[in-house]
């Protein structure tokens, strides 16, 4: 019954002049709720980070993450409405991340979204976290429209996508093992740097020299695929060897060298993909897009080739609900994503 009613409402939303979507993100260790207007304008985007809670465990503890999402979600909802200066009756639809991520964590957002959509009698939009990261760029750059090439670099994914339209893309290449964010986190861990590793590796790298050569050549040559497991293992072995020999470990130099090799790999494969697809527009998405060395290298290379570069604003690089609201809007515009109340969480979603 609910779903039948919503089909009608969803169709009408597609031509409504102003559409306000309340969106929810809880796939990992950030609980976030946003209100986004017409896919481009953030009316509010509140994030409750659990970083401090998980820091002492050196990584995200799924059960603890789920419990803290439950504690945060209702008050974030109120805050998001207050900051957006709208009442709940002005919400046109509810969008939620259904995957990829930690099942227990995702379920908190999904169940909250289902209850809310049912109570407000508005459509429920199921959004993939990956689509959300791409859409973060629509919030940062109002003029950005597909087609473009996208480098997706997060804790769970590393891939090059040929984004042909808001809801269509093809996979050009992806990692065959670790995601680059995961490699940053594991390198940080072996160096005793606290969670989350990526920003800490970047911080230490600023004082170091990229003087260590961890791997002799780029893996997966001649393809658009990545492999970061070899580089990660080389760093770990290097650190263990120094420690066993009682030799000093230069954390800044190791961070600088690892970051240099990892970002070179991302930049060269992505630029080659742009050349091969004759694309003049490049979008970077996901948590690792916060890395300033990656951004600088892309700025340099794209300038040489006359390619427009888009990177999300810093607060939109990592997980937030604003990006889910934007992706939800574009699903709705194409008549996609409408879900019934049987929606459940998925640990993985296809790229
Ligand atoms: O997109 P995201 O917030 O969550 C996932 O969907 O995975 O990405 C988190 C990842 C983590 O691996 C984190 O270490 C990495 O992004 N990250 C960074 C930086 N900021 C976050 N990696 C390198 N440099 C950064 N500044
Ligand atoms: Zn993410």
pLDDT of residue 217: 84
pLDDT in tens, 76-133: 999 999 999 999 999 999 999 999 999 999 999 999 999 999 999 999 999 999 999 9
Taking the centre of ligand 1 as the mean of its atom positions, its distance from the CA of residue 196, in whole angstroms, is 8
Give the mean pLDDT of the chain: 97
Partner residues linked to 49 by β-bridges: 30
**What's this model's pTM, rounded to 2 decimal places?**
0.96
Query: For residue 269, what pLDDT is reported?
Result: 97
**E strand residue ranges, the chain:** 20-25, 30-37, 41-49, 93-99, 124-128, 148-153, 158-165, 168-174, 281-285, 308-310, 338-339
Ligand 1 atom closest to the Cα of residue 100 is 6
Q: Is the pLDDT of residue 218 over 90?
A: no
Residue from 326, 331, 334 nearest 136 by CA: 326
* Best residue among 150, 183, 318, 351 to mutate for probing ligand 1, ranked by most atoms within 8 Å of CB: 318
Dump pLDDT digits (tens) for 133-188.
999 999 999 999 999 999 999 999 999 999 999 999 999 999 999 999 999 999 99
Cα distance between residue 70 and residue 232, in whole Å: 34
Averaged pLDDT, 293-308: 98
β-bridge pairing 124-128 and 338-339: antiparallel
Residue 49: the pLDDT is 94
Residue from 197, 198, 296 whose mutation best tests the ligand 1 pocket (most atoms within 8 A of CB): 198
Coil, helix or strand at residue 215: coil
Q: Please, is 89 exposed, middle or buried when counting C-beta atoms within 10 Å of its C-beta (0-12, 13-18, 19+)?
A: exposed
Ligand 1 pocket, residue 290 CB under 6 Å: yes
pLDDT tens digits for range 14-49: 999 999 999 999 999 999 999 999 999 999 999 999
Q: Is the CB of 60 under 6 A from ligand 1?
A: no
Distance 286 CA to ligand 1 centre (A): 7
C-alpha 110/C-alpha 20 separation (Å) is 19
Decide: 199 in ligand 1 pocket, CB within 6 A. Answer: yes
- pLDDT score, position 74: 97
pLDDT band at 212 (very low <50, low <70, confident <90, very high): very high
pLDDT score, position 219: 87
Burial of 310 (0-12, 13-18, 19+ CB in 10 A): buried
- Contact indicator for 263, 293 with CB cutoff of 8 Å: yes
Q: Looking at the CA of 202, which ligand is closest?
A: 1
What values do phi and psi take at 209, rounded to 5? -110, 140
Query: Nearest residue CA, atom 3 of ligand 1?
Result: 318
């Amino acid at each position: 019954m609910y779903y039948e009613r919503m089909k009608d409402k969803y169709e009408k939303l597609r031509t409504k002049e102003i559409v306000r979507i309340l969106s929810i993100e809880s796939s990992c260790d950030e609980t976030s709720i946003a209100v986004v207007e017409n896919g481009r304008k953030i009316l509010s985007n509140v994030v409750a980070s659990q970083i401090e809670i998980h820091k002492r465990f050196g990584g995200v503890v799924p059960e603890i993450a789920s419990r803290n999402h439950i504690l945060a979600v209702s008050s974030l909802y109120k805050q998001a409405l207050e900051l957006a200066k709208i009442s709940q009756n002005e919400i046109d639809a509810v969008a939620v991340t259904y995957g990829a991520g930690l099942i227990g964590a995702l379920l908190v957002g999904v169940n909250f979204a289902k209850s809310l959509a049912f109570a407000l009698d508005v459509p429920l939009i199921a959004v993939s976290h990956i689509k959300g990261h791409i859409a973060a760029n629509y919030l940062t750059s109002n003029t950005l429209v597909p087609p473009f090439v996208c480098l997706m670099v997060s804790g769970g994914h590393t891939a090059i996508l040929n984004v042909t339209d808001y809801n269509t893309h093809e996979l050009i290449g992806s990692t065959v093992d670790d995601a680059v964010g995961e490699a940053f986190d594991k390198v940080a861990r072996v160096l005793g740097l606290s969670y989350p590793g990526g920003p800490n590796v970047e911080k230490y790298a600023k004082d170091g020299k990229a003087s260590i050569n961890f791997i002799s050549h780029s893996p997966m040559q001649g393809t658009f695929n990545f492999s970061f497991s070899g580089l990660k293992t080389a760093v770990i072995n290097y650190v263990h060897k120094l420690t066993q020999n009682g030799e000093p470990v230069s954390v800044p130099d190791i961070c600088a060298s690892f970051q240099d090799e990892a970002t070179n790999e991302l930049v060269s494969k992505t630029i080659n993909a742009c050349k091969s697809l004759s694309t003049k527009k490049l979008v970077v998405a996901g948590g690792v897009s916060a890395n300033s060395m990656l951004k600088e290298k892309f700025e340099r290379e794209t300038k040489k080739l006359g390619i427009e570069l888009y990177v999300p604003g810093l607060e939109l690089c990592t997980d937030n609900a604003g990006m889910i609201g934007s992706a939800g809007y574009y699903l709705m515009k194409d008549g996609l994503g409408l879900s019934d109340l049987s929606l459940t969480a998925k640990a993985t979603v296809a790229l």
